[in-house]
Amino acid sequence: MIPNREDLKLKRRTAFVTDERFFWHHAGTPVCGCDPADLNPETGNYFQATKHFENAETKRRFRNLVDACGLLQYLDTTTVRRREASDEELTLFHTAAYVKLVESMTSGGDAGDFAQFGRGSFNIAKLAAGSGIEAVNALLAPSPQIDNAYVLCRPPGHHAERDRGMGFCVFNNVAIAAKHAQQKHNKRVAIVDFDVHHGNGTQQAFYDDDQVLFISIHEDSLYPQGSGCTDERGEGKGIHDTINIPLPAGSGVGAYKYSFETIISPALKAFDADLLLVSCGFDASFSDPLGHMMLTSECFGQMAMMLLDSVKVPSCFFHEGGYSEELVPFCGLRVTEALCGLEASRVVDPGDEEANGYGYQALQSWQKQIIDDIYTSSAKPCIDKHPPLNL
């Protein structure tokens, strides 16, 4: 039986922004999820093509679960307009030359490093960026009809840099939305990225900007390698407004919760933004093929709730990575439930019980030392930079 809204006791108005066209994006034909297939006896290459990790199925299953459990009918699916971003909007972050390069690949191509795309994906990538802009517009309207939003879009965006795509990303949806919020709405923005891979493109966009706080919690030295180190803290006016939390492989729920409590929540409260944007990747889950972390779907919901409790401002979550067809739907549902303010889910994730029993799920002493060191070197200088205005 599908529960009614009164029984669910939803506390917040949440927009669920998606479009069938997002699922039509084609990320190329890979081997090991990334590289092209190859058969060349002379070089010893015998790479049989596989399904691309960044495929539509994980996202469709997420959307389908939200629908099947009855939650979708209580989400706002109409307020946020789906539309393509203009070239002017894309160049809020990207160079005009890069936008033209992607547009010129009418049959598809490679936008950079592991950023292949197929025919029609230029328009789909513009649709993802434009829909994110419209979500921000809806949240910052004079009389908003929604409190927060989840943008379930493809392709993802947080790796895309100013002049190239990277890591399955073509245009940087979060960076473009944040630039739009700054320039059109005059807002200070906080961005939190909990994808298992470092949000290098978003960091690049705001590295010298003191009006945007960027925090990335990710697996250390995964992708891009050499990116997201603790000594990357911003520059110029933006010094100390970039915080990187590279956690060791194998980190579980305890390490992530302690990072949120010790670093992320205090920094968000100190910065006091007008808008929160979240790069929401689910590849730190215990069953993801492209990460080595141990998070449960329940933990993703708890992290979303901690973010919402830290800053009482309009919030927009953008779908990024996450490549487990089995677990992504439950992770996405838990985050969506948190956005709605749903206190108790009626949907059981069959994997949570097993994952919660894994060894080392609790905070380990060496993990605590790493996180405490990051607080001292990165979070505390940020907090000290933004003292409360009433003092």
Task: List active site positions.
Answer: 159
Following DSSP, what letter does each residue of 337-377 receive, concatenated?
A: HHHHT-SS-S---TTHHHHHTSTT-SPPHHHHHHHHHHIII
Residue 67: count of CB within 10 angstroms of its CB? 13
List the one residue out of 300, 328, 279, 340 whose CA is nearest residue 15: 340
Q: Can you say whether residue 226 is alpha, beta or left, with left for phi > 0 and alpha for psi between -120 and 50 degrees?
A: left
How far is 295 from 284, CA to CA, in rounded Å? Answer: 6
- E-state strands within the chain: 14-17, 30-31, 35-36, 38-40, 45-47, 108-110, 112-113, 116-118, 148-151, 165-166, 189-193, 212-219, 242-247, 275-280, 315-319
Q: Which tokens go with 162?
A: 């100013």
CB 323 within 8 A of CB 156: no
Strands 212-219 and 242-247: parallel
How far is 269 from 274, CA to CA, in rounded Å? Answer: 11
Q: Tokens 């979550």 label which residue? A: 317
